[in-house]
Amino acid sequence: MKNEWPLWEVFIRGQHGLAHRHVGSLHAPDAETAILNARDVYTRRNEGVSIWVVEAKHIAASSPSEKGPLFEPSESKIYRHPTFFDIPEEVGHM
Amino acid sequence: MYAQMVKTASNRVKTREEMSPEEQHFQDKIDNDVKIEPKDWMPEDYRRTLIRQIGQHAHSEVVGQLPEGNWITRAPTLERKAILLAKVQDEAGHGLYLYSAAETLGVSRDELIELLHEGKMKYSSIFNYPTLNWADIGAVGWLVDGAAIINQVALQRTSYGPYSRAMIRICKEESFHARQGYSAIMKMAFGTPEQKKMAQDAVNRLWFPALMMFGPSDKDSVHSEQSMAWKIKVKTNDELRQQFVDQTVPQIDYLGLERPDPTIKWNEERGHYDFAMPDWDEFFNVIKGNGPCNADRMENRRKAWEDGAWVREGLLEHARKKAARKVAAE
Ligand SMILES: [Fe+2]
Ligand SMILES: [Fe+2]
């Protein structure tokens, strides 16, 4: 379609100091308007204190076919989790 | 329901033997409640059916603003006006979330909007009924959004990730819609005899159209089976409709209004209310475009779209020039 506004992905940081989180997307002609639209659509009930927008075409994503090579290697490395190690109860909380 | 009659390419579900290895893998994910995400492999029919369903759903949110928007300037108090405005604004947001979900399937929002305006896509039949007075606005929030909630709560578990996430977001906002409606109708039902009469009239007129929102009876719903297998649909039309009736009848009774259908009766054995089905001929007629407000709604939609074209184009042109100036300055 010609003259369609580009798509932006919207990230919002909530009240409690957590990282910005992806909340959805919207169309806007430019970044400034995208932020204003994001304010109107995604923060009408105090959902956030900060907004990031990025044009969707600038996001690079892993592809589902890479799922195996990318994520399987970590499956076998259970020693990376604290629960792998038995610590005697006498030692106390660790 | 917001998508009442979504056509699927086939009326019959493939057996496992008929499926390709890819299809089998896909069906296994669905059976195990693993969400399907935009870049995952999916059958072409799944993609097409979803575009139709999510598109219809999005159109319903947007067209649904019209019967209510009609009353914003005539709300009885400033508070009611602010509430209705906020509610209608939410619906615009719902439309946006859903168009965004559809866009992940490779169709653009503008394309979907144009298909709607060309009459090639549908929206819920309920929005082709008029809102004649303030009591109707209360009844719409209570009954229409109430019905929408039942459908949308079920769809939170739908198999397509972006659709499911849109439903979760929408459901968070919907109970405000139903409650503000019920609160408005309560005021009328417990008000003067004149007001009570208006409330009764609104319920009488909107009851059957609200029941139609869930789509035809299961026995006549030819497209359900594949959609259920794909978990695009999670409950059948009749299950959802029954849930709505069971939930709503006590709410009607509380208001001291007469039940809009004299055959409604608690069925001890079934543990549900018995009730009369709407007039399905009327339903199919409205779906075909011959309801009381179809022409009006589409005319308003097209006009809004066309009248807004210069704004959309102007802002885009401005953004292009600004970007070019920035490049030149660097
Ligand atoms: Fe909605
Ligand atoms: Fe709503």
For the segment A30-58, the average pLDDT, to the nearest whole number, is: 95
pLDDT for residue B16: 85
Q: Report the residue from B39, B109, B315 with minimal CB separation from A63.
A: B39
pLDDT for residue A19: 95
Residue A71 belongs to some domain of the structure: no
Containing structural domain, residue A37: 7-61
Query: Of the candidates B284, B243, B32, B63, which has an alpha carbon nearest to the alpha carbon of residue B146?
Result: B243
Q: How far apart are the C-alpha atoms of A18 and A35, rounded to whole Å? A: 19
Query: Of the candidates B120, B114, B119, B84, which has an alpha carbon nearest to the alpha carbon of residue B99?
Result: B114
pLDDT for residue A63: 85
pLDDT band at residue B15 under the 50/70/90 scheme: confident
- Apex B43 CA angle, B37 and B46, nearest 5: 75
As given in the structure block, the two tokens for residue B194 are 């004149």
A75, containing H or E segment: helix A67-75
Complex confidence, ipTM: 0.87
> In this structure, which amino acid lies at residue A54?
V
- Does residue B1 register a pLDDT over 60? no
As given in the structure block, the two tokens for residue B142 are 């209570």
Bridge partners, A52 (sequence order): A11
Instruction: Report yes or no: B208 and B279 within 8 Å, Cβ to Cβ.
Output: yes
Residue A16 belongs to some domain of the structure: yes
pLDDT for residue A68: 87
B25, containing H or E segment: helix B21-31
Structural class in CATH, domain B16-291: mainly alpha
Q: Could you give the number of structural domains in chain A?
A: 1
Closest residue on chain B to A38 (Cα)? B93
A56 touches B at CB < 8 Å = no
Residue A81 belongs to some domain of the structure: no
Report which DSSP code applies to B218. G
Domain boundaries, chain B: 16-291
pLDDT band at residue A65 under the 50/70/90 scheme: confident
Q: How far apart are the C-alpha atoms of B40 and A62, rounded to whole Å? A: 11
Counting residues of chain B whose pLDDT is more than 70, the rounded percentage is 97
Report CA dihedral (A30, A25, B1, B42) to the nearest 10 degrees. Answer: 120
Instruction: Report yes or no: A29 and B318 within 8 Å, Cβ to Cβ.
Output: yes
pLDDT for residue B330: 83
**B7 or A90, greater pLDDT:** A90
Instruction: Report yes or no: B289 and A7 within 8 Å, Cβ to Cβ.
Output: no
Radius of gyration of chain B (CA): 21
As given in the structure block, the two tokens for residue B207 are 């009851």
> In this structure, which amino acid lies at residue B113?
I
Q: Report the residue from B39, B109, B166 with minimal CB separation from A64.
A: B39
Residue A40 belongs to some domain of the structure: yes
- Chain B interface mutation, best of A35, A37, A45, highest count of B Cβ atoms under 10 Å: A45
Residue A27 belongs to some domain of the structure: yes
Residue A87 belongs to some domain of the structure: no
Bridge partners, A9 (sequence order): A25, A54
Report pTM.
Answer: 0.92
CA of B147 relative to ligand 2 center, distance in Å: 10
CATH (domain of A14): 3.10.20.520
Instruction: Report yes or no: B5 and B223 within 8 Å, Cβ to Cβ.
Output: yes
B82 touches A at CB < 8 Å = no
